[in-house]
Amino acid sequence: MKVVVIGTRGIPRIQGGVETHCEELYPRLARLGCDVTVVRRSCYVTEENKEITFQGVQLKDIYAPRKKSIEAIVHTFLGVLYARKVGADVVHCHAVGPSIVIPFARLLGLKVVMTHHGPDYDRRKWGWLAKAMIKTGERWGVRFANQVIVISHVIDQIIRTEYNRTDAHLIYNGTTRPLKTSRMDYLNKMNLEPRRYVMTLGRFVEEKGFDGLIRAYAHASLKGYRLVIAGDADHENSYSQRLKALARHHEVVLTGFITGEPLNQLMTHAALFVLPSFHEGLPISLLEAMSYDLPVLVSDIPANKEIGLPADDYFRTGNWNSLATKLPLKLAAAEKLFAVGGEKKYDLTNYNWDYIAQQVLQVYKETVSK
């Protein structure tokens, strides 16, 4: 079965939740016998990831302008043409913005699976025109895709209520139990002590709430603890510049976009993982923190609450006083836990990537058979 993947920036080692999703999913589908090609946006291909295959997945680099307002739609349109040219059995389109091209793909005779990763039109970075286009992508994608995958009950309810599509497949994001590291050379380089820092992870966009986290951290006066933010901006703008300035002012550690051993060290030795987002689909970064058995403190948005953490692990979204109040309490509890060699344990049964790959393969088989 020949599968062409569009909508993502690409893999491997490219920042973003959809990109992490694809990097975990498609090597597994390749091992299950799929002939998978991920179409990558040329502007995200660097010397570090300039390769033609990744763990059995073919990589096809196609032009995309490095401009947030048009890069996705231009690239996805060209990706559809490529899928038609190579005779794809299934085109898998990720995210609602790129899904605006799904009617065009269907007109070309292609069979399309759409994964709805969340209502991206709610993101603060978009103006009214961009929001309207992304909303149109959601509407057309949900209406015209042969099969729709949703990553949470929240998203499933959106498409049931707004578009009366009741046959979507609920397939969660996933995580993999990591091999924790005893190395600390990256921590030493960043002047960090094990279990003496709070960390978060994500792109520098407004809906992640990192500016509020910095203010809450400063207000809480956490003696002996640092704040670490791993990630960066895809497109440098006034918000990301203000965020970096605020971080420097409060001596927050900014790592930039990291993967591999540096990220493994940060996650292994953190004291607490915080996710202050206003908007998520189903946050892979939170699932990753849970896979490292870390205590967590997250905003009470529906996507985070769907994971079903204890009530004490949530704070009121956007209420930085609430976060500042909870931070020292969570860290005190974490100190006691780590002092006796304990770890937080979470049930991650529903978030197993091998199981997820089997579910997606079944969707492909249904798509082709119909």
- Residue 68 pLDDT > 80, yes or no? no
Sorted by sequence, the CB contacts under 8 Å of residue 245 that are 6+ apart come out as none
> CATH fold of 185-348, please?
Rossmann fold (3.40.50)
pLDDT for res 367 = 97
**Tokens 């992508």, located at residue:** 137
pLDDT for res 318 = 95
- Residue 235 pLDDT > 90, yes or no? no
Same fold, 2-174+352-369 and 185-348: yes
For 128-172, the pLDDT digits (tens) are: 887 899 999 999 999 999 999 999 999 999 999 999 999 999 999
> By the 8 A CB rule, do 119 and 96 touch?
yes
Which residue from 279, 246, 311, 343 is spatially nearest to 124, judged by alpha carbons?
279
For 243-260, the pLDDT digits (tens) are: 999 999 999 999 999 999
Please give the mean pLDDT across all residues of the chain.
94
Sorted by sequence, the CB contacts under 8 Å of residue 81 that are 6+ apart come out as none
One-letter amino acid identity for 104?
F
pLDDT for res 325 = 96
CA distance 49 to 104: 30
pLDDT for res 281 = 86
In percent, the amount of the chain with pLDDT more than 90 equals 84
> By the 8 A CB rule, do 29 and 3 touch?
yes
pLDDT for res 56 = 97
CA distance 208 to 212: 9
pLDDT for res 366 = 97
Indicate the pLDDT class of residue 66, thresholds 50, 70 and 90.
Answer: confident
pLDDT for res 360 = 98
Q: Where are the domains of the chain?
A: 2-174+352-369, 185-348
The CATH class given to the 2-174+352-369 domain equals alpha beta
One-letter amino acid identity for 173?
N
> pTM score, two decimals?
0.86
CA distance 116 to 340: 42
CA distance 338 to 196: 11
